[in-house]
Amino acid sequence: MLKTIQASQIAGSLGAEIRGVSLADELPDDVIAEIRQALLKYQVIFFRDQKLTPEQQIAFGKRFGDLDTHEFVLGMPDHPEIIRVVREADETTLNFGGAWHADVTHQESPAMGSILYAVDVPPYGGDTLFSNQYLAYETLSEGMKRMLDGMTAIHTARGPFAPEGRSKNNWKNMQVVTSEKAYEEMEHPVIRTHPETGRKMLFVNKTFTVRFKDMTEQESAPLLDYLFRHASHERFTCRFRWTPGAVAFWDNRAVLHYALNDYTGYRREMYRVAIAGDRPF
């Protein structure tokens, strides 16, 4: 039961807007505990009309754990924990985050959560979609669940961040550093157990998952393609319309997200911090 904040669910599968709190304040522990409770219940929570300095966004993120720095996207010079997700009005190429994904699953311990703050938003477009991966798992057939339980998937950052990756021709106004390190591979379970709720979820995504362990990419492709489509089915999703000062805080363990690219001719800038996570099991 939430006592100090109010939550209004925005879609049938996940997502809620939170009222009654200013994230710029030094919030008491019981309010932080309620925000975490809401995050676990709704998987992604939204706050409107916030006014955050970089220092305040960092301080809020640290109430939930240590902060990650991105391996391939440089943070702000004075605040390396914050990356600027920016697309200028004259850009026409792929936007950053413009595919269904969970953040940094190429890492041994992917982020627990991400906090995105709207600095500059277009007059329309640029919404973000989120998809509930508990439901993605729970709606699989019993036969598919049995097959996937115990399977391991290979994740790598080579698609976006290798020297010949997507960043070569995109994201010109972001501080992206390509590296041979992007070719490194990491193993994660296809079906992950959430460390706080104990629920099982599907844990593959099109941006970073390339094959199953002990299988070739060609052999893996038919099943992975099915899982990618299934994971983002509309009945698992919610859609968030950004406004100036809005904040989205999502459980990166339990959701996928997708930044829509439908605002060419307008500028969009977000500040993102990521909370360190643990090794999936």
Exposure class string for 200-235: b at 16+ Cβ within 10 A, else e: bbbbbbbbbbbbbeebeeeebeebbeebbebbbeee
Which one of 70, 101, 155, 188 is the catalytic residue? 101
User: Is residue 272 annotated as a catalytic residue, yes or no?
Assistant: yes
User: Is residue 103 annotated as a catalytic residue, yes or no?
Assistant: yes
| Separation of alpha carbons 95 and 171, rounded Å | 7
269 CB burial (10 A radius; 0-12, 13-18, 19+): middle
Which one of 84, 87, 103, 251 is the catalytic residue? 103
User: Is residue 106 annotated as a catalytic residue, yes or no?
Assistant: no
User: Is residue 230 annotated as a catalytic residue, yes or no?
Assistant: no
Specify the 3-state DSSP secondary structure of 113: strand
Kindly give, in sequence order, each residue whose CB lies less than 8 Å from that of residue 238, ignoring residues fewer than 6 positions away.
10, 11, 13, 14, 15, 44, 129, 130
Which one of 106, 166, 253, 272 is the catalytic residue? 272
Active site residues: 101, 103, 257, 272
